[in-house]
Amino acid sequence: MSVKEKLNNMQTSILVMIVFILPTLVLSSHNNYPLSMPSCNDNSCGDIRIPFPFGTTRECYLTIQFWVTCNRTDVDHPKLFWGESEVEITDIYLDGQMRVMQYIAEDCYYRNGSSSSNNNPWIELATYFTVNNTANKFTIVGCDAYALVSGTRLARSFTTGCTAMCSSEADLTEGSCAGVGCCQTPIPQNVSRVEVEVKSYSNYTDVWDFNNCGYAFVVQDTAFNFSKDNLTNLSNVIELPMVVDWVIRNGTCEEAKTNATTYACVSANSECYKPTNGYGYRCRCVDGFEGNPYLSKGCIDIDECAATNHNNCTMKEYCNNEEGTYTCSCPDTHDGDGKGEHGCVLLQKKHNMKIAYVLIGVACGIITLLLAIILLYLELKRRSRRKTKHKFFLQNGGDKLQEKLATREASPDMVTIFSSSELEKATNCFHDSMIIGRGGFGTVYKGVLADRRTVAIKRSIKVDLTQIEQFINEVVVLSQINHKNVVRLLGCCLETDVPLLVYEFINNGTLSSHLHNKAKANVLDWNTRLKIATETAEVLSYLHSSASTPIIHRDVKPDNILLDHTFTAKVSDFGASRLVPVDLAQLSTMVQGTFGYLDPEYMQTNQLTEKSDVYSFGVVLLELITGRGALSFDRPIEEKSLANYFLSVLRQDLLFEILDENIVGLENMEEISVVSVLAKECLNVRGEDRPSMKEVAMELQGLILGGKHSWARINNVHDEEEMESFIRIEDGMSHFGNGDKNSSVEYDSISRDHILLPTDGGR
């Protein structure tokens, strides 16, 4: 090794020793309270003070475990040792810790094939002493080394270890001890004996150029910070500091207090406590006192008012020291408790502050009063809203609906009574952006319920309070309709001025919006239209003959036939429907419906029958095969009414001229002809001459299944002139609609929530 390298190593060694020794010098404070027994003059060794229970002679230490010796061979640097051992002590603290120097284990290999090692350095502690498991770390330094630390804890053996590897100096990181060049691991609690051993995996053959030794040691965590230079300079360091915990005696505080002769906390202002690490007990001075609690007069009062001590008096000169504490005061020109930044206030300033406090108090009182008024107003408003909701709930028949539901067994199909707050959240307080349909009798909103179901919510404009009983009956019955082609009624809300009806949401708009839009009509080929007609007929047949209570829809039209994404028909808008009494074949009611679809017989007689739905469905069939609306005010007078015009062209055998060009084809003309004749049958003036919806559904099903025309009375002779006369009646009445193709007749039921969806709307 060159002279320059030796000098560098010596400088490094000196720096390492300074780092290790400096904390000891700083922590060895010289306080003014007694540390040793009064009869002991030998209470220090160089800069290291020796507090009782430690001592160098029998009269100076408590028990033999606390015996220390001072080697003054080097007058300038005497060393303190633990009894007669070679364990050097660098500091002793009354809080139960002691710093000792621990040897480093070393294992080296040289180019000439020789090796040297200093393995198995050990330290064995006396009773009451253990290695601190939080302040120390077992550390290994090297690039081809593994090390073990073993020993005794709680009268049993233990072993743990660590490995340090690297392939080049570039792998090393300053300050990092995670396994590359350096590895650290904690040691267990209550360790009384430590033995260290370090070995090499391959005699450093792969890292010979920069490292040929491995080092292992137990060291105080704050006293060692890994550096790349440690691979070489640790060979010049013999020992490193390690922290040892001590207790005054074994046993708990409660056990110790029972024996006055051996109880160690003898100072008048001391207390016993259990240490965090180790076992046994220790003593300390209570708050406000400092010193050695193991001496009879060891804990003395702390003068918090001394210049070097801390206190929180506003004016330091007015700090008054007392036994175990202190007080603060203010001069005569000031007032206050004397503590903190504003503890002393000039009397005039205090007067101003009192005024400020009064003003602040008044302001706080006013604010509190305003908050109380606001809270009272909000509570009264909440109660008023709750009372109003309850009033509407009763007014809309909520109690009657609950009674009817209570008589039924609970089932998934049972109608749900929603709260108004639920539907407000679902529709963002019925915001305009949620509107998907608007008509003369109300508005339809799209909503998303708390369970993430998308629904359509119908909100009426007005309600007939005389029909509440009928409305409740219809809600209960309609909620029981379980048909795949019916828009299901999920429930209602009765806490608003008018009832809100909640339906399942259908996302592809109405049949009308597809038929009367050129772009969308191209998608509706003949097979799709025939399927829609069949599904609609099946629904009406189900309502008339298969439902638990027969139901007349009363407003069958393309606007009330919704389509889903697969173009499956969903019949909707049962707001105008009527339940058919068991003992009556027909109902007498004010005329209600949409012009162009109204049954002529119903318009003349006010007698509503199931055949009224048949007539309306016949007009729907016409729209499916012609693509025209039921009423077209922009066409010539003879073409204004689709039903009238259809009969005219059918009589002239010119049906082909009014067919929708999107469905015309040689392969389906026979089916179109059959549907045309079926529509003609549905449009008979007299209801008794029309087929039932069950017969209509069967006929359409036969077409889809490829069957032959089974029952349609093609050759039946009808009074077409009589039919045309009734159609003209309807045609004349339609002028009251002011040109609106969807104009509706007023009616007498709570079902005045009949709503016309826009052509591009969906539910």
What's the pLDDT at 371?
95
Alpha-carbon distance of 255 to 257, in angstroms, equals 6
Residue 718's contacts (CB-CB under 8 Å, 6 or more residues apart) are 684, 685, 689
User: Which candidate, 290, 233, 288, places its Cα nearest to that of 267?
Assistant: 290
User: Which candidate, 568, 545, 414, places its Cα nearest to that of 487?
Assistant: 568
Residue 607, H or E segment: strand 607-608
Largest Cα–Cα separation, the chain = 143
3-state secondary structure at position 284: strand
Q: 3-state secondary structure string, 508-546?
A: CCEHHHHHCCHHHHCCCCHHHHHHHHHHHHHHHHHHHHH
What's the pLDDT at 413?
62
User: Which candidate, 680, 664, 683, 661, places its Cα nearest to that of 672?
Assistant: 664
Contact 622, 646 (CB under 8 A): yes
Sole residue written with tokens 């069949």: 534
Alpha helices in 683-750 (DSSP H): 693-704, 720-733
Alpha-carbon distance of 331 to 318, in angstroms, equals 8
Instruction: Tally helices (H) and strands (E) across the chain.
Output: 17, 39
Distance, first Cα to last Cα, the chain: 93
What's the pLDDT at 589?
58
3-state secondary structure at position 461: coil
Alpha-carbon distance of 167 to 438, in angstroms, equals 79
User: Which candidate, 677, 531, 576, places its Cα nearest to that of 618?
Assistant: 677
Tell me phi and psi for residue 109, to 5 degrees.
-135, 140
What's the pLDDT at 25?
34
Sole residue written with tokens 């903190």: 340
Q: Which of 91, 555, 660, 731 is catalytic?
A: 555
Contact 160, 240 (CB under 8 A): no
Q: What is the mean pLDDT of each run of 10 residues along the chain (763 residues)?
A: 42 41 37 80 88 92 93 88 90 93 91 82 84 93 93 90 92 92 92 91 86 93 92 88 93 92 93 87 93 93 83 89 90 85 78 82 94 94 91 87 72 77 93 83 87 89 72 76 87 88 89 89 91 95 83 88 92 70 54 81 87 94 92 85 89 88 84 93 92 94 73 42 43 38 38 32 36
3-state secondary structure at position 330: coil
Contact 398, 500 (CB under 8 A): no
What's the pLDDT at 582?
52
What's the pLDDT at 48?
92
Alpha-carbon distance of 610 to 622, in angstroms, equals 19
User: Which candidate, 631, 665, 661, 624, places its Cα nearest to that of 645?
Assistant: 631
What's the pLDDT at 759?
29
Q: Is the dihedral of CA 285, 289, 290, 292 positive or negative?
A: negative
pTM of the model: 0.48
Structure tokens, 232: 């070489």
What's the pLDDT at 716?
42
Alpha-carbon distance of 558 to 20, in angstroms, equals 94
Sole residue written with tokens 């003059």: 41
> Mean of the per-residue pLDDT values for the chain?
82
Sole residue written with tokens 């008023």: 384
* DSSP code for 691: P
What's the pLDDT at 13?
45
Active site residue 451: no
Alpha-carbon distance of 180 to 199, in angstroms, equals 16
**Residue 350: count of CB within 10 angstroms of its CB:** 15
What's the pLDDT at 634?
85
**Residue 334: count of CB within 10 angstroms of its CB:** 18
Sole residue written with tokens 């506003």: 314
Sole residue written with tokens 């419906």: 593
Contact 744, 595 (CB under 8 A): yes
Residues 47-69: tens digit of each pLDDT: 899 999 999 999 999 999 999 99
Counting Cβ atoms within 10 Å, is residue 229 exposed (0-12), middle (13-18) or buried (19+)?
A: middle
What's the pLDDT at 523?
87
Sole residue written with tokens 């070679």: 86
Domains of the chain in sequence order: 3-30+97-246 (no CATH), 253-301 (no CATH), 398-504 (3.30.200.20), 511-743 (1.10.510.10)
Residues 492-526 as b/e (b if ≥16 CB within 10 A, e otherwise) read: bbbbbebbbbbbbbbebbbbbbbbbeeebbeebeb
Alpha-carbon distance of 603 to 592, in angstroms, equals 9
Give the CA count within 13 Å in the CB-facing half-sphere of 47.
Answer: 13
